[in-house]
Amino acid sequence: MDATEILGMVAGTISSVTFLPQVIKTWQTKSAKDISLWMFLLVTLSVILWLIYGLLLGSIPIIYTNGAVLIMSLIMLYFKLVRFKA
């Protein structure tokens, strides 16, 4: 892995971690009423497209980052639509 890929992985990790506090807070409060459904639907669509793009390029940092964000976005959509419906 070269310096450019390492930079991408570090940036991807930081980007991915930004979703974690919201996932944790929603889990702890058992409430998703203040979560914007449209925002998470758009984020999910966006990261799916970025993930496909990364797969087509074979770019590990893009695949890693968007795979992680997709997982957290899907968790938040599950919380919003199924688990903690408002």
pLDDT digits (tens, 9 = 90+) for 3-52: 998 998 999 899 889 889 989 999 999 988 888 899 999 999 999 999 99
Nearest Cα to Cα of residue 79 among 44, 27, 36: 27
- Please check whether residue 81 is in contact with residue 26, taking contact to mean a CB–CB distance below 8 angstroms: no
Interval 53-77: pLDDT, tens: 999 999 999 999 999 999 999 999 9
Give me 21's structure tokens.
């506090």
- Please check whether residue 73 is in contact with residue 23, taking contact to mean a CB–CB distance below 8 angstroms: no
Max distance between CA atoms of the chain, in angstroms, equals 46
Residue extents of the structural domains in the chain:
36-86
Interval 1-16: pLDDT, tens: 889 989 989 998 998 8
Distance of alpha carbon 82 from alpha carbon 45, whole angstroms: 19
Give the pTM. 0.84
